Structure 1
Amino acid sequence: MRAPSLFFLAVLLVHISLQCNATTNCQLGSEKTTNLHFYLHDTLSGNDPSAVPVAHGDKFTANPGNPVPFSSVVVTDDVLTEGPDRQSKVVGNAQGLYVSSGKREFSLVLGIDFELTDGPFNGSSFVVFSRNPVLQGNGRELSIVGGRGAFRMARGYALLKTHYLDTGNGDAIIEYNVTLLHY
Structure 2
Amino acid sequence: MGKLGVVTLLLSFLIVTMAALGGSQPEDWHKSVVRVEKEEEKVTELHFYFHDTVSGKQPSAVRVAQAMESEKSPTLFGVVMMADDPLTEGPEPTSKVVGRAQGLYGSAGQEEFGLIMAMNYGFTDSIYNGSSLCILGRNSALHPIREMPIVGGTGLFQRARGIAVGQTYWFDETTGDAIVEYNVTAFHY
Structure with greater Cα Rg: 2
Q: Does 1:85 align with 2:89?
A: no
Match of 1:181 among 174, 182, 187: 187
Instruction: Determine the structure 1 residue equivalent to 2:53.
Output: 43
Q: Report matched runs for 1:17-28 at 5 Å.
A: none
Structure 2 counterpart of 1:173, one-letter code: I
SS of match in other structure, 1:134: coil
1:30 deviates by: 1.4
Using CA pairs below 8 Å that are at least 6 residues apart, which structure has the higher relative contact order?
1
Q: Which of 151, 156, 162 is the equivalent residue of 2:162?
A: 156
Determine the structure 2 residue equivalent to 1:24: none
Match among 117, 120, 137 for residue 124 of structure 2: 117
- Mark the CA change 1:4 to 1:128 in structure 2 (over 3 Å): closer, same or farther: same
Report the TM-score when normalising by structure 2: 0.81
Identity %: 46
RMSD over aligned CA atoms reads 2.6
Query: Shift of residue 94 of structure 1?
Result: 0.6
Q: Which runs of 4+ in 1 moved over 2 A?
A: 1-10
Which of 32, 37, 54 in structure 1 is aligned with 2:42?
A: 32
Q: AA paired with 2:22?
A: L
- Matches of 1:28 and 1:40 in 2, distance apart? 35
1:108 is the counterpart of 2:107: no
* Stretches of structure 2 lacking an aligned partner (at least 5 in a row): 1-16
